[in-house]
Amino acid sequence: MNINMTLQFSLLDYVKLITAVVIALGGPTVIVIALAKWFGEYLSARMLSGVKNKHEKELEKLKNEYQKELEIKKSELEKTKAQFLRYSEKQFDLYNDLWRVLLRTKMLADELWEKATPGKLPAFSEQIRLTRKAVMDNMLLIEQTHYTKLDKLLESFEEFKFGKVRLVDIRSGETIDEDDAIVTVNEVEESIKINKGTKDRYIKLIMEIGDSFRAQIKG
């Protein structure tokens, strides 16, 4: 019985000792683990916050750079747009002015072919001169095939012969003898009939040129 009591007390003492050690070690260990966990979470939060702030600053910097670049591009685009509009307006004016000259020639030709009289010849001859000059000055606006045809037609107009004189000579009457300068209505009418094909080709051609102008203006 004494032996059992000794063993019992020894076992109880051992359990108490183990319990005391667990308590002694367990308390601070829990605190250390808790502190470590909190410190880890704190460091993680600080690191994430630092990375986030760094990225936000970099993004803001990039945003500002792109914004400046965008403003520059917008400014360049506005300048290009303004230049294009000025060019388009100027281009339209050039096409319009040239078209007026071509159309004026057609109108005078129609009047001359409708009722041929010697008195209409000087005005028509002068108009042909103005048209040739306008075509030459604006040749870059006219397609090459149209320009070639138009130049030949205007030359044919100038070569119209009324009696002994050509249309081109009527403008410079100073070089024509008085007898040669007298052109009768019959001579004018006869020349008009002979050269009707030239006039018809001219009208057809300027209609084609007008369509070409319209297409180029619309882009």
Q: How many angstroms separate the CA atoms of 216 and 100, rounded?
A: 17
Give all domains of the chain, ordered by start, each with its CATH number: 82-218 (1.20.120)
Q: What is the pLDDT of residues 5-15, one digit of tens each?
A: 444 445 455 44
Q: For helices 144-158 and 196-218, give the axis angle rounded to 10 degrees.
A: 150
Output the average pLDDT for the chain: 76
Q: What is the pLDDT of residues 153-185, one digit of tens each?
A: 999 999 888 877 888 888 755 454 555 557 788
Work out the number of other CB atoms within 10 angstroms of the CB of residue 150.
Answer: 23
Which of 215, 184, 58 is closest to 119 using CA atoms? 184
pLDDT over threshold 80, residue 77: no
pLDDT over threshold 60, residue 2: no
Q: What is the pLDDT of residue 86?
A: 58
Q: What is the pLDDT of residues 80-100, one digit of tens each?
A: 666 555 556 777 888 889 999
